[in-house]
Amino acid sequence: MKVFSWLVSAVLVLVVAGLAFIYFSPGYDLRLVKSESMRPAVNMGDLIITGPVNGPINGELKPGTIVTYEHSKGLITHRVQSIDGTTLVTKGDAVEDPDSWPVTLSDVKGIYLFKIPYVGYVTSFVQTKFGWFLAIIIPAALLVAWLVKDILKAAFSDAENNSANREVRAMAKQDGAE
C-alpha cells in the first residue's frame, strides 16, 4: 500500500511540475477548449498545450497543423487548411466551411502539441467561487483530519502505555507485599 501511495504521489508531482514548467516557459501555454469545433481531435473540456510557431518541438507551420490564434471573438483553435504568404485559411474539424476571416501569422499564438482530456472541466470548475472554495476547503479538511488522527493515535498510545505501567507497578507492589 505504501508503494502505491508513493507512486501516485510521484506521478502527481511530476504532472504538476511539468504543467508548471510549460506554463512558465516562454511561448508555451495551457489552453482550455470551450467549444466542439475541433471534434474529434480536440474536445470541449480538454486542456491543450501549445508551443511557439517554428519552435523546437513542433517544427514549421504547414497545412494540417492545429493552431491557436487571436480573433475578435477571443482565442480560437482550428486546423490550418492552406497558407498563402503570411495569411492562413483555418477550419474547425467539426465545421463544414473554412473560417470566413483571414488569419495572419502574427495572429497565431501557438501550435497544438498535445491535450489532456477532461482536465479543462476541473479547471473551469475551480475558477468558480464554489469550485475555488472546494479546492481549498476539502484539502484543508483532509489535512486537519489526518493531523487530528495522528495526534489522537499518539495520545491513546501514551494513555495505554501509562495504564499498562500503572498495572505493572501495582502488581509489583502486591508481589512485594506478600
Instruction: State which CATH number among 3.40.50.720, 3.10.20.30, 3.40.50.300, 2.10.109.10 fits the domain covering 27-125.
Output: 2.10.109.10
Residue 178 has pLDDT above 60, yes or no: no
Could you tell me what percent of the chain has a pLDDT over 70? 85
The amino acid present at 105, given as its one-letter code, is L
- Contact between 99 and 107 under an 8 Å Cβ cutoff? The reply is no
One DSSP character per residue, 21-73 reads HHHHSTT-EEEE--SSTTTTTS-TT-EEEEE-TT-TTT-S--TT-EEEEEETT
Mean pLDDT (the chain) is 87
Which candidate, 22, 49, 51, places its Cα nearest to that of 111?
A: 51
CA dihedral 167, 172, 174, 176 (to 10 degrees): -170
Residue 108's nearest CA partner among 18, 29, 23, 24 is: 29
Q: What is the pTM of this model?
A: 0.69
pLDDT given for residue 161 in this prediction: 65
Chain segment 105-147, per-residue pLDDT in tens: 999 999 999 999 998 888 888 889 999 888 888 889 999 999 9
Maximum C-alpha span of the chain? 108
